[in-house]
């Protein structure tokens, strides 16, 4: 998706920032409406609830300890969301994001393609557990209509992220393949200066990570020590490591654990602690191919350029 400056307005129908919110690009006909589940009755009274659209049910998968999303489409949004609200099999969600057209120009064909595209992108991004499973087969869509749908999806993607739900945003994007730990091939990001690719090495293990604006992302295929220092077990890093093992993001392979997907950590040290199995200073442990530490690459560079005061 092309990044460019955009203006987004958010309308509060009831004046409550915690209630229903309506987001739209000022130059676009697509709207995304955020509906907290307890306020479903209010949405059913809105004319938008009778439109064709695509929707995203957002919540948490307690077993996997990850945010979850269910993506659907319908010709009558209010009716369909009300069915989900009453369905005991869909208890996980606590808010719905609904995408519609201000000009009522979305058709069922648009909606079916947007549903498929959304499931595909959410699975690719790996931030949320996608309750739908895989994306299934691509619906038959004429080339000209597919182009329209892709533009609509790009707008929805921006608005959904603006609402605080980065369902479609990869943790690390625009990737190139490079050799990873043990000769395995890893995909690492080649994003602009804001993102730095680095490695963390320990006894028999190696991890590749991207330092991003959100934190440190350890890439799928990286390896972490199987044993940990006893002092780390009761600490937050030790508990987080055990959580990753319990939910299957870290899987034992021989004498080390392998990351099964890209995993975001809030800090470089939180990430290196899990990899090395001990307390560590991530700013010093993560290094680029020339041996420069993350501290040199980001913090000292920021001070030198006057970014930090």
Cα separation of 235 and 141, whole Å? Answer: 52
Neighbours of 17 (CB within 10 A): 8
Length of the chain: 309
So what's the pLDDT on residue 125?
92
pLDDT in tens, 156-192: 999 999 999 999 999 875 444 344 444 444 444 444 4
So what's the pLDDT on residue 82?
96
So what's the pLDDT on residue 229?
95
So what's the pLDDT on residue 224?
98
Residue 153 has which token pair? Answer: 């999806």
Distances (CA, A) of 54 to 29, 95, 144, 154: 15, 14, 20, 14
Closest CA to 136 of 170, 154, 113, 156: 113
So what's the pLDDT on residue 301?
66
Mean pLDDT within 48-60? 96
So what's the pLDDT on residue 181?
46
Output the average pLDDT for the chain. Answer: 89
Cα separation of 23 and 12, whole Å? Answer: 9
Q: What percent of the chain has pLDDT over 90?
A: 78
pTM of the model: 0.82
Mapped onto helix, strand or coil, the DSSP state of residue 17 is: coil
pLDDT in tens, 67-115: 999 999 999 999 999 999 999 888 999 999 999 999 999 999 999 999 9
Instruction: Assign 296 a pLDDT band (cuts: 50, 70, 90).
Output: very high
Q: Where are the beta strands (DSSP E) in the chain?
A: 8-11, 21-25, 30-36, 53-61, 66-74, 93-101, 129-130, 175-179, 185-189, 196-202, 205-212, 215-218, 223-225, 250-253, 256-259, 263-265
């Amino acid at each position: 998706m092309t990044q460019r400056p955009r203006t987004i307005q958010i309308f509060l129908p009831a004046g409550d920032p915690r209630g229903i919110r309506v987001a739209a690009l000022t130059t676009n006909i697509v709207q995304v409406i955020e509906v907290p589940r307890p306020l479903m009755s209010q949405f059913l009274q809105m004319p938008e609830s009778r439109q064709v659209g695509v929707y995203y049910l957002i919540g948490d998968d307690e077993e996997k300890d990850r945010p979850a999303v269910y993506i659907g489409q319908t010709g009558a949004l209010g009716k369909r969301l009300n069915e989900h609200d009453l369905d005991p099999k869909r208890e996980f969600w606590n808010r719905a994001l609904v995408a519609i057209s201000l000009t009522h120009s979305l058709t069922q064909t648009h909606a079916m393609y947007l549903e498929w595209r959304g499931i595909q992108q959410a699975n690719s991004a790996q931030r949320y557990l996608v309750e739908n499973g895989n994306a299934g087969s691509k619906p038959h869509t004429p080339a000209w209509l597919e182009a329209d749908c892709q533009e609509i999806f790009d707008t929805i993607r921006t608005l959904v992220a603006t609402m605080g739900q980065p369902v479609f945003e990869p943790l690390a994007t625009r990737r190139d393949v490079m050799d990873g730990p043990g000769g395995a091939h890893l995909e690492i990001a080649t994003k602009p200066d804001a993102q730095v690719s680095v490695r963390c090495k320990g006894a028999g293990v190696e991890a590749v990570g991207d330092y991003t604006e959100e934190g440190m992302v350890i890439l799928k295929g990286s390896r972490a020590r199987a044993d940990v220092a006893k002092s780390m077990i009761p600490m937050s890093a030790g508990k987080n490591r055990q959580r990753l093992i319990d939910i299957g993001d870290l899987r034992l392979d021989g004498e080390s654990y392998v990351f099964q997907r890209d995993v975001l950590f809030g800090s470089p040290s939180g990430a290196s602690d899990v990899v090395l199995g001990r307390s560590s200073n991530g700013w010093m442990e993560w290094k680029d191919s020339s041996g420069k530490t993350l501290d040199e690459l980001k913090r000292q560079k920021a001070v030198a350029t006057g970014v930090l005061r």
